[in-house]
Structure 1
Amino acid sequence: MNTNASTELTPRPVDDPGVEPHVLSYRASDPEVDKEAERRVIACFGLSALFALSSVVIYFAVPHTIAIRVGSFDGNLHNVLFGVTMGLGILLIGLGVIMWARNLMNDEELTEERHDPASSEETRTEVLVMLSDGVRDSGVARRRFLMGSLGGALGLFALPLIVTLADMGPWPTKRVRQQTIERTLFAEATPQKPIRLVNDVSWKPLRAADLEIGQLVNAQPENLRELHDVEYQQAKAKSSIILVRMDPDSIKIPESRRDWQVSGILCYSKICTHVGCPITLWEQQTHHLLCPCHQSTFDLGNSGNVVFGPAARSLPQLKIGVDGEGYLIATQDFTVPVGPSYFERDSRNDFKEGDA
């Protein structure tokens, strides 16, 4: 209703009907009905908590290998049960809140005068009073068990969400790291059973005599071809290497790595130590290898040391040799983990400028 004086004098086409007298709802007029409505809301929150706990039990107890087929539906029993229990938990919280609003909160209708957009101090104070009245009408203060059931439902529903974090992978203990991210396919090599290095496109074994000075070759361990699908991709992401041949008189080879090369042929990980990008931009004259992602630059003529860019660690070098037929081989794994850094990584064995 507009309080402007000129509008007050203007005849209205329809009389203001006002607000009808407030009639107590059926629930408000009968305390037993009010208690019954409260019990239904508590039941919803309680069942939601049970479904949340059930989803956690299902996550650990139901195997991931059981298939379920109903008509044209073909799925995984673990995923179906976990999704259904989580979905029912969310649904019951929503139903409980809706029933609370419809059946337990005050249903009295109110009117207020239309006012200017800028609220006065009195109006702001009035709004705070209205908010306090709303909290009182919601019954929060006197329905403590109801609030407890809502808090319990919401709190327990967080459990299945936290449990799903386990799908991100195994906990990175030292033993798990040694068996996964810190291990490549070259770990299967031994002096008695070496692994040949092959071209990553043709899969042909690489002969030392065929590499020319200045040439860079992208390569893989020969046993990579034995893997398939996810295992293949995971292994390739760690075992990718580059072979480069340089004039032995133009490069620095520390005493500790004298037997890691074959007539100037050196082998390094292809994975940048910054964020894990594959590196192949080769500068023959400077012996530098440039990462295309963030321009980290490694000196392959000096044990893969970083000479520019954000990378903080040298490029891991792989010890190589030749077999009786002249093919390049590996007889051991990298001495340090390949790829980007991580919190638990031990960097004490990383090669640094000046190491012997």
Structure 2
Amino acid sequence: MSAADSATAPVRIGVLGAASVAWRRMLPALAAAAGVEITALASRELARATRFTDRFGGVPVRGYAELLARPDVDAVYLALPNGLHHRWAAAALRAGKHVLGEKPLTTEAAATADLLRLAGQRNLVLRENFTPAHHPMHGVVRDLLAAGRLGALRHLTGSFCFPPLPGGDVRYRADLGGGALLDAGVYPLRLAQLLLGDEDRLEVSGAVLRIDPASGVDVSGSALLATRSGVIVTAEFGFEHSYASRYQLWGAAARLAVDRAFTPPPEHRPVLRIDEQDHTEELVLAAADQYACTATAFAVAVRAARSGAPATAPDAAATLRTAELVDEIRATARRITVPGSG
């Protein structure tokens, strides 16, 4: 394929896994993205794969290895349980496929580093599907911080919690990388990195994890972190709460709050509320589809790499640091057995 053809040819996507997030969020975005074609979807159950391809197109495939062997797949969207991410992302990269992997990219930092190294060696695009990074509202918040609108930043609190899941949900499976830290906790952790920048390195000071003895996974928790410049960060997460998806930045001059922050619907118009001593201001932003933005950005990166551009992810360091923070939280956390369980 010539460089000109590489820049315009559709990115042919194969999907590994028939997960709920794929059905609800990413496959509608990928199917609608310009220059993207869903060519195959693999599941352990052919009937399940067929249900997806009936809606989004492509060929249903039984088995993940079979999909990776297909010549009509340029890139893979990985929507498997967390504990399977490293194995199948590595297999996809070795098969010459670009990879968009659901977050968390893997369940531990060493495995994440391995995938980043593997992608770099082959000049393949590897992206962790952290969709909030593609929503413009967080760029507006960064600009307000940089302009001094809040004064010197003192504290950032991020919360992503939701009610208990059905008992058979994969997120209660310890052997498949379940638990609230990996499923929900990575959102406020990565958000803090996104807003504060990796140059002001976040470090873990302490954490608490509530453990369900029946499943062995953490069902909620909180982590206390700080940057080297002294900004305090609190991350709250779990699936035993009423719903919350928000963050707050508290500075010397003002406080900024954002609700529906991590998974806003495409039609949602974010509201940034800024509270000062004697004044409150609300900035209403334009709606944006972070899933569509993510799909488009991945396709653009793949086409660029096919044309010979370096495929190194601009957020590779942040992806690895998130995984390191998860490892640090696990290593330092006080574990509390959930009362009334087991």
TM-score range, shorter chain: under 0.3
Q: Which has the higher strand share?
A: 2
Query: Which one scores higher on RCO, CA 8 angstroms, separation ≥ 6?
Result: 2
TM-score, length of structure 2 as denominator length: 0.23
Q: From the CA coordinates, give the structure whose radius of gyration is larger.
A: 1
TM-score, length of structure 1 as denominator length: 0.23
